[in-house]
Amino acid sequence: MAILKIVTVPDPLLRKKSRELAEITDRTLRLLDDMRDTLHKAQGVGLAGVQVGVLRRIVIVETVPGELYEMINPVITKRSEKMQRCKEGCLSVPDRWGETVRPYAVTVEYTDRNGKRCTLDAEDFLAQAISHELDHLDGVIYTDVAVSMDDEETK
C-alpha cells in the first residue's frame, strides 16, 4: 500500500465539495487501503478523500484501534439535540487545536467497501469524528465551526 500526501491549509482543494462515488472499483478499494495506511502513519482518527486529493464522498474513521469504518457516500440522517464540547485537531490543519460543539450522537448511512448499505449509530468521540470528516466532504474545516482556537502545540 501507499502513504498518500495529506493536503493541508491553505490549499483551496479543501474548500471544494466532494462528489458522490458512482461505483466501487478496484481503484476505490486501493484508495481505501491507502487512506487507512496514511491515517495510521499520521496517527489520526479520521481521513476524508479530499484530504488526500480525491474529491469523492469517501471517509474512514478509526477512533478505537482495530475498529475501522470505511464510508462511501455517507450521510448523517439524525443528530441528537444533546451537544458536546470537543477538543479538535485535523491532519489538514497541523499543530492547531480548537474547541467545537458537535452532536453527542449521530446516525450515519453509508455504503461499505463491499457495496453493502449500512447504518451506524455513533456517540461521543465517534460521533464527533464522523461529523468532522463529513464536514470535509462539503468543504468545511473544523476551524470554520470552532468556538475557540488554541494555537499551542499539544501533541
Whether 133 is a known active-site residue: answer yes
What is the topology classification, in CATH, of domain 12-150?
Peptide Deformylase (3.90.45)
pTM for the full model?
0.94
- Integer Cα distance of 145 and 89 in angstroms: 12
Q: pLDDT by residue (tens digit) across 86-141?
A: 999 999 999 999 999 999 999 999 999 999 999 999 999 999 999 999 999 999 99
B/e letters for 106-138, b = 16+ CB within 10 Å, e = fewer, are bbbebbeeeeeeeebebeeebbbbbbbbbbbbe
The H-assigned helical ranges of 19-155 are 26-42, 124-136, 142-145
Instruction: Report residue 56's pLDDT band, with 50, 70 and 90 as the boundaries.
Output: very high
Q: Taking 90 as the threshold, does the pLDDT of residue 154 lie above it?
A: no
Annotated catalytic residue: which of 62, 70, 88, 133?
133
Hey, where are the domains in the chain? Answer: 12-150
Q: What are phi and psi of 5, to 5 degrees?
A: -75, 130
Q: For residue 151, what pLDDT is reported?
A: 66
